[in-house]
Structure 1
Amino acid sequence: MRRPMCFPRTRKLPRGSRSLPNSTDRDSTRSRRRDRNRSTNTLLRRRFTMKRIAIVLTANLLVLLSGAILCAQETTNSKTVTYKTVGEKELKIHVHFPPDWKAGDRRSAIVFFFGGGWNSGTVGQFEFQAEYLAGRGMVAARADYRVKSRDGVTPDKCVEDARSAVRWMRKNSKRLGIDPKKLIASGGSAGGHLAACTMIAESVEAEGDDLAISTVPQAMLLFNPVLSFENEQMLTRLGENKHLARKISPTSHLHKNAPPALILFGTNDRLKVFGDEYWKKAEEIGVRADKYIAEGQGHGFFNRPPWRERTLIAADKFLASLGFMEGEPTVTVPETTEQATVGRRKVHPNVGNWPELFKPNLSNAIFTQGVWTVEDGVLTASEDQAIWTKKDYDNFVLDLEFKTASGTNSGVVVYCTDMENWIPNSVEIQIADDYAEKWAKSPDTWHCGAIFGHLAPSKSMVKKPGQWNRFTVRCRDRQINVALNGQRIVSMDMSLWTSAKTNPDGSEIPPWLNKPLSKHPTHGRIGLQGKHAGAPIWFRNIKIRELR
């Protein structure tokens, strides 16, 4: 460490020397001391001057650097402006311009709204997509809006801001160099909901908005969006206000003149039911609603490679088909295979230290004596009767192996509240021989891995009869996830099943399942169905871990 500069000390006299100098020595000492002090002060002044010069030079350099940085930012053809002020809150919109953009252009434009459950999120979410589309010749904007965690607002206020942003873009079309009749609305999750709400002619409106300016876009790009608030789960976010819920439910306002849409979902996304409902209604009334399905992917899949690039290619082609851009997509999909991506995620847990659901002697199980037996660790039944746990479970992960015979139809039962009449008073995850003609021709919600009668698996993963299958069922409150043989195949939010007659996608529920899952308790016994439909079933390595 460099020693700090200080004034020199007076040297101590060695022992035995004169204690006091004579007058001549005293004068000489004073003279030397003055010289040293004068020299030291001169050195200090020089160092202080150099330090001031260094500070000035550094400040000037920082100014130059900051100017260079600002210049660099300006060359990226982006600009941030305030599109709306609410109280003291300024809402910004970030606009990306094409490299050859000039004033007076009449280009296609797109505005993105970020996701975050109307509670959080960041305007930076769609920067990659905005920059890409600007590079393809569009003016692309990313709009901020109020959210609950920062501004204490409910979803209807988020919708107000989104509609204000669209109006701002149309009002400033000349300044932005865009054609107000070539505007696309886009967003992800809650942001997808906001984008879809711009197509509603009469919805919630912000005070001071020019209602003569339409919010209806010419097209929509919707990444795993929420498309309805008219269900029990969503209504709670609006204080059970059904009138308000309808005003911000895009599917309810879908009509024959609605703008074309590309809607993108992963098969494992619990919100896909919204897409299914929208697609079905659009088909019935003849509205274009293109479907993009990402196999095995969950919510938000479009945010990460390679799906970010794949969805951009799909969006590019969709917009080109409508005449909003020309040429082929220029984005390149990374050399990361879907299989490698899936392979890095754990589908089945490590159950080495997990306890058995049933003891080897079945002393902690409820069943009819003689029906269920265990031999060499394999559990099977001779009749169509279930075996039950003695205790109730609520949040847990159940992992097991099963083997089917030709024509097997069995199941894993959770949240059972009535063992005598368990079918309408539980949730059954189906086990079936999908290779048997009888079950292959049955509804998809009867196939292996389905939440029986309610939600079909994303794909059939069961092995042929005689082979062991790995099954993992995760239950936490109203969320049920199912994985079969290394593949996630079901993700259900029970609160969306508010009817006992039809599923959220419009398909019919078997009449013997006469209670809505949204009302069903999320605790109860766990059971295994026995020899149903005359075909046997075998289980082994049945492990459970309770979740806190």
Structure 2
Amino acid sequence: MNALPQSGNSTTPLIEQRERELLKDARAHVYQVENGYQLNAYCFNPPNHVNAEPKPAIVFFHGGLWDVSMPTQFAPHCMHFASRGMVAVTVEYRVGPKHNATPVDALEDAQMAMLWMRHNHASLGVDPKRIVAVGAASGAHMALSLAMQPDVMEIDGFSPRPQAVIALSALVNTTRKGIESERFPDTKTATTLSPSNNVRKGLAPSLFLHGKSDTIVPHEHVAKFTKMMKRKKNRCELIDFEAANHSFFNFNVSATHFEITLNSMDAFVSDLGYIEPTEYV
């Protein structure tokens, strides 16, 4: 299956061309069909992956605050990690304007994408015990929820929990004292699904990258959250970026910040033992 995703609004030919170019090296798989919509996972494989040993995987959930479908956001990151020997996947999930969806639907899609990967790990060439979940903003909320929710769906003995999480400009507090709670079906659901309400011992290692001038997700939310994680003895690192706003890590916003964040992510994954370390100049 090689169909490109549709955007939430009418897609211009220029955007379609850009999406095709960014995803040309990926293989598209339909991981779920919901209400007639096909949801794709775009897999970038490392070189010479045919009949190779199972590889660690890294799965990306784009940002957009559950409004915009943009799985190409992390295509450059996928290309990088595929070149480093991982199976790199960028996932499209249901968003509000296009699918009349809520964050709960998006989280269900994230769970299904992870379960699909683990259920099909042999054909995908993935080591199901070495999967990193990465997300930006709302996508980071989803990645963290996969790792932190006390109760998650399991199918045929497979779990959607990642072994580690990388969160960029992460939305960590969706309670009334946080932000975006109104996007959830009700306040109780927003509170239950808030990562800030699910901090406990024994959680997966995590790396946070956040701009100190973020006007959408306040830096203090993430600073408080990471301190809570450390108090519970979880491995959790926060890298701050001075004078950086919400989208600082995207290549089209700052090539410098893109390179620094990508190198930081690479070092984190390397420290997990999933890829060989690299010295950066």
- Class of the TM-score when normalised by the shorter of the 2 chains: 0.7 to 0.9
* 1:77 Cα deviation after fit: 5.1
CA contact (8 A) 2:149 2:193 kept: no
* 1:231 Cα deviation after fit: 1.9
Q: 1:186–1:329: structure 2 CA closer, same or farther, 3 Å change rule?
A: farther
* 1:251 Cα deviation after fit: 2.5
For the residue of structure 2 that corresponds to 1:198, the secondary structure is helix
Give the TM-score, by structure 2 length: 0.85
Q: 1:108 matched to which residue of 2?
A: 56
CA contact (8 A) 2:175 2:187 kept: no
Q: 1:211–1:154: structure 2 CA closer, same or farther, 3 Å change rule?
A: farther
* 1:239 Cα deviation after fit: 4.2
CA distance in 2 between partners of 1:156 and 1:260 (Å): 24
Give the TM-score, by structure 1 length: 0.44
2:157 alignment partner AA: A
For residues 196-242 of structure 1, what are the alpha-carbon distances to aligned partners after superposition, in whole Å with 9 as ceiling and x for unaligned?
A: 1111344576xxx7273211111111111101211254322224331
For residues 31-86 of structure 1, what are the alpha-carbon distances to aligned partners after superposition, in whole Å with 9 as ceiling and x for unaligned?
A: xxxxxxxxxxxxxxxxxxxxxxxxxxxxxxxxxxxxxxxxxx9xx75210100011
1:328 and 2:278 matched: yes
Q: 2:165 matched to which residue of 1?
A: 220
Matches within 5 A, 1:456-471: none
For the residue of structure 2 that corresponds to 1:124, the secondary structure is helix
Q: 1:14 matched to which residue of 2?
A: none
Matches within 5 A, 1:169-180: 169-180=117-128
Q: 1:129–1:142: structure 2 CA closer, same or farther, 3 Å change rule?
A: same
* 1:154 Cα deviation after fit: 1.1
CA contact (8 A) 1:94 1:142 kept: yes
Matches within 5 A, 1:3-82: 78-82=26-30
- Pick aligned residue for 1:315 from 255, 261, 265: 265
1:275 and 2:222 matched: yes
* 1:321 Cα deviation after fit: 0.8
CA distance in 1 between partners of 2:97 and 2:152 (Å): 21
Aligned residues: 253
For the residue of structure 2 that corresponds to 1:220, the secondary structure is strand
For the residue of structure 2 that corresponds to 1:95, the secondary structure is strand
Q: 2:183 matched to which residue of 1?
A: 237
For residues 317-361 of structure 1, what are the alpha-carbon distances to aligned partners after superposition, in whole Å with 9 as ceiling and x for unaligned?
A: 11111101103057x8xxxxxxxxxxxxxxxxxxxxxxxxxxxxx
Q: 2:10 matched to which residue of 1?
A: none
2:205 alignment partner AA: P
CA distance in 2 between partners of 1:204 and 1:137 (Å): 29
CA distance in 2 between partners of 1:294 and 1:155 (Å): 27
Q: 1:230–1:211: structure 2 CA closer, same or farther, 3 Å change rule?
A: farther
1:241 alignment partner AA: T
Q: 1:273–1:194: structure 2 CA closer, same or farther, 3 Å change rule?
A: same
Q: 1:513 matched to which residue of 2?
A: none
CA contact (8 A) 2:208 2:239 kept: yes
CA contact (8 A) 1:192 1:222 kept: yes
Gaps of 5+ in 1: 1-72, 333-548
Q: 2:16 matched to which residue of 1?
A: none
1:149 and 2:94 matched: no
Q: 1:146–1:329: structure 2 CA closer, same or farther, 3 Å change rule?
A: farther
2:93 alignment partner AA: Y
Q: 1:77–1:150: structure 2 CA closer, same or farther, 3 Å change rule?
A: closer
For the residue of structure 2 that corresponds to 1:162, the secondary structure is helix
Q: 1:408 matched to which residue of 2?
A: none
Q: 2:18 matched to which residue of 1?
A: none
For the residue of structure 1 that corresponds to 2:157, the secondary structure is coil
1:231 alignment partner AA: R
1:249 and 2:199 matched: no
* 1:268 Cα deviation after fit: 0.4
1:184 alignment partner AA: V
For the residue of structure 2 that corresponds to 1:98, the secondary structure is coil
Computed over aligned residues only, the root mean square deviation of the Cα atoms, in angstroms, reads 1.9
* 1:104 Cα deviation after fit: 4.8
CA contact (8 A) 1:204 1:247 kept: no
CA distance in 2 between partners of 1:322 and 1:150 (Å): 37
